[in-house]
Amino acid sequence: MAKDDIDDLKERVAAACRVMGRLDLTREPAGHVSARVPGSDNILIKARGESEAGVRYVTADDIITVDAEGKALDAGAGFVAPREVFIHTWMYRSRPDVNSVIHMHPSTVVAFTIVDRPLLPVYGAYDPASLNLWIKGIPNYDRSVLISNDKLGEELAGAIGDSDVIMMRGHGITSCGDTVEAAGMNAILINELAEMNYKAALIGTPRAIPDEDLAEFKERLGGRRAGAGAAWDTYRKMVDA
Of 84, 192, 195, 219, the catalytic one is 84
CB burial readout 46-60, b (16+ within 10 A) else e: bbbbeebbebbebeb
- Cα–Cα distance for residue pair 151/34, rounded to 1 Å: 20
- Is residue 154 among the annotated active site residues? no
Identify the H or E element spanning 187: helix 180-203
Contacts of range 191-194, beta carbons closer than 8 Å, 24 or more positions apart: 191/23, 191/25, 191/106, 191/108, 191/109, 192/127, 192/130, 193/119, 193/122, 193/127, 193/130, 193/131, 193/133, 193/134, 194/106, 194/108, 194/109, 194/111, 194/112, 194/119
Q: What's the farthest any 2 CA atoms get from each other in the chain?
A: 57
Q: Which residues are part of the catalytic machinery?
A: 84
